[in-house]
Each structure stands twice: as C-alpha cells, then as structure tokens.
Amino acid sequence: MFFVDSCVLIGAKRKRDRWHSVARPMLEFIADGRAGIGYILDYILVEVANFLLKKDGPSVAIDAVGDLLVSKYLRIIIVDEIGLLESFEIMKKFKGLSLADASIAYYMKLRGIEYLLSFDSRFDRVPWITRIGSLKELKNIVAFGTS
C-alpha cells in the first residue's frame, strides 16, 4: 500500500510538466493493477483539480478528476476533523509542509503506510515516510512485497 502526492498525479497528466516522463509510467503501472492499492486524500484531489483548471482549463481538470474518482486501484480518503487537527500539528512540527502534505503524513502514520509516491523532498524529513520517486523504486517495493 502507498499514498500518492499531487505532484505525481499532475505530472502524469501534463505533457509539459517537468515530471511527466517519470510520473506517467508510475501512474500507468498503478492503473494496470501491478502496484496494488494506493491512497489519495480528498485534499490532493482538490489540489490536482485546481492546478489543472488554472493551467490547462476545465476539460483537463474534469478529465483528471473523473479518472481518479473511478480508479480501481486508488482509494480516496476524506480528511475528517480529527485528521485536520492532527495534520495541523504535523504542519507546525515539520515546517515547510503544506496542510495537504501534513495531512498525507498524518494519514500515512495512522494507517501504518510507509511509502509515498512524490517528487517533493520536503517529505524526506518525516521519519515514517519513505518517498518513492521513480518507476524503478515503485517496482522494487512491489517486487519485495512491501507495497
């Protein structure tokens, strides 16, 4: 099991994104069912939608959100009040994490999930998170049965 950050989802969708060549194969691997079940937060869904709406227009944003909502291999977690409050505490502790990033960290810890697909090095300071930034790394955790 793993979580996915918005930068991977955005990178996979946008051909002009600097992470496209890395993110797209990672998402295709997930979409093929080879990585098991992953998680995104509703906050991440909103980040993806808003970013794509602003940069690429409504049709791209709607297409991306639609794909995420019907994904067989990505589950959406809704941040609740306790999650918000705990995430805020993590945000204060790990300065530089956004509230959405801190929410990822909180829910990963809560669910005992170690791996995060992300290109954001700020997560490297969070001791319970191992960041996965390539298809090779993703395949390695799947091969060793640790996803």
CATH number for 65: 3.40.50.1010
The answer as to whether 13 is a domain residue is: yes
Beta bridge partners of 41: 77
Q: What is the pLDDT of residues 55-70, one digit of tens each?
A: 999 999 999 999 999 9
Mean pLDDT of 25-42: 94
To the nearest whole percent, how much of the chain has pLDDT over 70? 99
The answer as to whether 147 is a domain residue is: no
Q: What is the pLDDT of residue 144?
A: 81
The answer as to whether 63 is a domain residue is: yes
To the nearest whole percent, how much of the chain has pLDDT over 90? 95
The answer as to whether 124 is a domain residue is: yes
- What are the structure tokens assigned to 55, written together? 């940069």
Find tokens 């991977």 and name the residue.
8
Beta bridge partners of 116: 3, 131
Give the integer Cα–Cα distance in Å for 146 and 4. 16
Mean pLDDT of 24-40: 94
Count of structural domains within the chain: 1
Q: What is the pLDDT of residue 132?
A: 97
Mean pLDDT of 23-32: 95
Q: Cβ(25)–Cβ(33) under 8 Å? A: no
DSSP letter assigned to residue 18 = T
Q: What is the pLDDT of residues 80-119, one digit of tens each?
A: 999 999 999 999 999 999 999 999 999 999 999 999 999 9
The answer as to whether 66 is a domain residue is: yes
The answer as to whether 107 is a domain residue is: yes
Domain that holds residue 47: 2-142
Q: What is the pLDDT of residue 146?
A: 60
pTM: 0.93
* pLDDT of residue 147 exceeding 80: no
Q: What is the pLDDT of residue 145?
A: 73
Give the integer Cα–Cα distance in Å for 93 and 78. 22
